[in-house]
Amino acid sequence: MTLLRLTPLALSRSRFALSPLAETLGSIKVLQADHCDLWMESWYARHHGAFRAVLDADPFAAGLVRLISSTKWLPLFVTAPPPGGMRTTLAEELAALRPFSDQEVRAELELSVQHSWEQHDLSWLTGRDWFARTVELFRSVWTGSVEPDWPRRRALLERDVTYRAGLLAAYGWPHALERMSRRSAWVGADAIRFSDQDFPDRRIGDDGMLFVPVSALSRGTWLCEGPGDRYALVYPARGAASGPAEGRPRRALDRLIGAGRAAILRELDRPATSSELAAHLGQSLGTIGGHLAVLRDAELVAGTRVGRRVVYRRTEVGDSLVGG
């Protein structure tokens, strides 16, 4: 078991952040696979072919992507705590990465091979400037595949942060961490269980911990480490990454509970306020409020008060009904 240990000051300064770099890494993992989750099918179909063409033309990129997609030890030169909070840009993250020499890159990749569940060799490590080539690969995937989709993804991520910030304000960090991943949990008064693997515990510096949602993946977490005991825990944002896939059967649910209420249940793949639901669905607040009242009575949704707002989320029964 691996623990992240926080001092009281670190705990008080922990916060949420967004990371285009982490979103790009998650997207690379999705594109590397032979198939994807249902809600990513449309995006995957648009970009998978071009991505595979890049890998076919570049053995270095192909070897790197295969390794980072099948290891429990992500190399430090592709993970870093985001420097800009909720407004972080990819350019800021890439500029903040410490340059790695070829020798350091190889050392990190050897650790990744040791912790992979597949067989790997590093024969694809040819030429030089491996760190710069990795940065260029990430920049290319971001520009071609992720950035066009970023406004929608960012909105989904912000809704996840709003929901968890509400839990934090009302109940503290243990509740905010709840269901963040299958393995993460609060341990005692000052530690987070990050992994079931026996890696060394980490001590979080007084600047606190960053919690970073990604929308590309439905499972899996990783830890980003930076100078000065800075850490970020990347986790899958709650709900589907890209909404229901094109052509997904909806008519049965619409007929069962009504098209308006079914639309709200689907939209609550990410927690949202009634105002956010009204804006996204193009309905009045009164209509949304009436539907939410029925869905609450049926225990398909639940609300958490955050200051003057109420953030709604699907219950487990609601999740099962939608099929998420």
Summarised one tens digit per residue, pLDDT across range 95-154 is: 988 899 999 999 999 999 999 999 999 999 999 999 999 999 999 999 999 999 999 899
Per the structure, the complete domain to which residue 127 belongs is given by 20-150
- Strands of the sheet containing 2-6, edge to edge, are 185-187, 191-195, 2-6, 202-204
Mean pLDDT over residues 255-260, rounded?
84
Same domain, 171 and 290: no
Report the CATH number at residue 269.
Answer: 1.10.10.10
In a domain, 243, yes or no: no
Q: Are residues 127 and 158 part of one domain?
A: no
Inside any domain, residue 242: no
More confident residue, 113 or 315: 113
For the residues 244-271, what does the mean pLDDT come to?
74
- What count of residues does the chain have? 324
Residues 157 and 261 in one domain: no
Amino acid residing at 162: T
pLDDT for residue 244 is more than 60: no
Nearest residue to 71 (alpha-carbon basis) of 23, 115, 10, 129: 115
Determine the average pLDDT of the residues in 176-202. Answer: 75
Same domain, residue pair 197 and 218: yes
State yes or no: pLDDT of 21 exceeds 80.
yes
Same domain for 146 and 24: yes
Per-residue pLDDT at 248: 47
Q: Which residues of 161-197 are buried (b: 16+ CB within 10 A; e: fewer)?
A: bbbbbbbbeeeebebbbeebbeebebeeeebbbbbee
Name the pTM for this structure. Answer: 0.74
Task: Out of 150, 166, 181, pick the residue that ends a domain.
Answer: 150
pLDDT of res. 45: 92
**What is the band of 90 on the pLDDT scale with cuts at 50, 70, 90?**
very high
C-alpha distance from residue 110 to each of 103, 120, 214, 262 (Å)? 11, 10, 26, 49
Q: Give the chain as a 3 state SS string.
A: CEEEEECHHHHHHCEECCCHHHHHHHHHHHHHCCCCCHHHHHHHHHHHHHHHHHHHHCHHHHHHHHHHCCECCCCHHHCCCCCCHHHCCHHHHHHHCCCCCHHHHHHHHHHHHHCECCCCCCCCCCCCCHHHHHHHHHHHHHHHHHHHHHHHHHHHHHHHHHHHHHHHHHHCHHHHCCCCCCCCEEECCCEEEEECCCCCCEEECCCCEEEEEECCCCCCCEEEEECCCEEEEEEECCCCCCCCCCCCCCHHHHHHHCHHHHHHHHHCCCCEEHHHHHHHHCCCHHHHHHHHHHHHHCCCEEEEEECCEEEEEECHHHHHHHCC
Q: Indicate the residue among 115, 150, 185 that finishes a domain.
A: 150
Last residue of a domain, one of 150, 171, 206: 150
Within a 10 A sphere around the Cβ of 129, how many other Cβ atoms? 12
